[in-house]
Amino acid sequence: MDRMEINQEQEPGVKAAVYYEPHQPLRIEEVEIDEPRTGEVLVRTRASGVCGSDVHIADGFMPDFAGPMVLGHEAAGVVEAVGPGVTYVVPGDHVVVSPTAWCGECEMCMRGSFVLCDNRPTRAQGAPPRLFRGAEPIAQFTNVSSFAELMLVTDRALLVVDRELPLESLSLIGCGVMTGLGAALHTVKLRAGDTVAVFGAGGVGLSVMQGARIAGATTIIAVDLSSERLEIAATLASTHTVNASEIDAEEGIRAIVPAGVDFAFEAIGNPTTASQAFASTRLAGTTVLLGFFPMDARLDLPASDFINEKKVVGSRMGSAPFRLAMRAYIELYKQGRLRLDELVTSRGPLEEVNDAFERMRAGKGARTVLTF
Ligand SMILES: NC(=O)c1ccc[n+]([C@@H]2O[C@H](COP(=O)([O-])OP(=O)(O)OC[C@H]3O[C@@H](n4cnc5c(N)ncnc54)[C@H](O)[C@@H]3O)[C@@H](O)[C@H]2O)c1
Ligand SMILES: [Zn+2]
Ligand SMILES: [Zn+2]
């Protein structure tokens, strides 16, 4: 970025939680945000979930993601202003924000893999950054940056929602729910009667379990180290729980389904639990990897098992075009079949973001939603 090109006019200061380097707390500071340009929308943040991926960045999983950067990507808010050419929203619209904006023109989009769009509408090279401070650009995590009072995003990152619905609960659809439900319903299309184990009962894993319940899976085993999270799993969707701090996870699962489960989901981001998930599947079973693994992580799997048609698949952001999938998930929520309010176990202002990170690391509660 050419520092001279940065918009140095007086832009409104916005309170944000800024990430600088791994293993350091985020800092609450003022940043500047540009005005919406062609195809862009300024959204007043009303609620932002805290996702495991935000914590992984702060824990140094992805050294390429350098600060200063505003984290947060699971959000809902109210449209404040629109740039030229925007027809999808008007000021005052309530919106859920998605990190999976799509272009519609790249090869992945044309193949129907919108979540893998590799040409997301962002600012052109040489254009001023969306976030900055003086002459210093500030990176936008997943082109969203919801740990801030305002978000500047493309209109293709938004879904308009009914104004009566609570934005705190809807914010979770932006990432964790979209990812977990989609893994169950779109990536592998679970069917009635399937047996399922889900490693990790955070916001993502709990959403996989709810997707499995909605699809009619008859055995849904939650695996976690945190008894608090396993209790939440049992109230939301799981039929069984395995506390991996007390018993070997595979043994615990095979005590319930001796042949192994049809589907094992890894929603943690740990190569060891990925191996355990694989080992817990039956002949021809499928392991679905949703966790965000450290960049240098490798998987250790018994190669001879593949002769038994075992499968491993990756799953990104629920494998479905977000406007279509989110609309369906919101209907399920309105019908009481998808429980979102219960996933919000803590609320707090932006200033409490580091406490929310600590709760995630300790496996406490399900999700914290920062409110504005
Ligand atoms: N695939 C995607 O597109 C996508 C999208 C969002 C999040 N993610 C990733 O999904 C993962 C889960 O996200 P989250 O927000 O639910 O995180 P989270 O931290 O809330 O949940 C992780 C859970 O794993 C449990 N856990 C940790 N180590 C364990 C072990 N050894 N055995 C059993 N349980 C263990 C923790 O107690 C915790 O409950 C993260 O890696 C996140 O980055 C991926
Ligand atoms: Zn996320
Ligand atoms: Zn594309």
pLDDT, tens digit, 9 for 90 and up, residues 268-323: 999 999 999 999 999 999 999 999 999 999 999 999 999 999 999 999 999 999 99
Alpha carbon of 301 to ligand 2 centroid (Å) = 26
Q: Is the pLDDT of residue 6 over 70?
A: no
Tokens at 38, concatenated? 């062609």
Instruction: Give start and end residues of each alpha helix (H) in 113-202.
Output: 167-171, 176-182
Mean pLDDT of the 80-100 span? 98
By alpha-carbon position, which residue is closest to atom 21 of ligand 1? 202
**In the prediction, which pLDDT does 328 show?**
98
Q: Report whether pLDDT(4) > 60.
A: no
| CA quadruple 231, 209, 358, 248: dihedral sign | positive
Report, in angstroms and rounded to the nearest whole number, the Rg of the chain calculated over CA atoms: 20
Q: Find where tokens 């998808």 sit.
A: 338
For ligand 1, atom 37, which residue shows the shortest CA distance? 363
Per cent of the chain over pLDDT 90 is 93
| Neighbouring-strand partners of residue 281 | 261
pLDDT beyond 60 at 10 = no
CA-to-CA dists, residue 206 to 4, 5, 31, 209, 306, angstroms: 47, 45, 34, 5, 28
| Span 22-43, average pLDDT | 97
Angstrom distance (rounded) from CA 338 to CA 207: 9
Q: pTM for the full model?
A: 0.96
> Could you give the percent of the chain with pLDDT greater than 70?
97
pLDDT recorded at residue 9: 52
Residue pair 94/162 in contact (Cβ under 8 Å)? The answer is yes
Pocket test for ligand 1, best of 50, 51, 231 (most atoms within 8 A of CB): 51
Ligand nearest to the CA of 267: 1
Across all residues in the chain, what is the average pLDDT? Answer: 95
pLDDT digits (tens, 9 = 90+) for 215-273: 999 999 999 999 999 999 999 999 999 999 999 999 999 999 999 999 999 999 999 99
Whole-number pLDDT of residue 336: 97
| pLDDT computed for residue 284 by the predictor | 98
Residue 262: Cβ-neighbour burial (10 angstroms; 0-12, 13-18, 19+)? buried
Tell me which DSSP letter residue 223 carries. E
Mean pLDDT value across residues 16-23: 97
For residues 368 and 164, what is the distance between their CA atoms, to the nearest angstrom? 22
What local confidence, expressed as pLDDT, does residue 12 receive? 60
Residues designated as active site = 51, 53, 56, 73, 175
Mean pLDDT of 153-167: 98
Q: How far, in Å, is the centroid of ligand 2 from the Cα of 272?
A: 21
> Quick one: pLDDT band at residue 32, thresholds 50, 70, 90?
very high
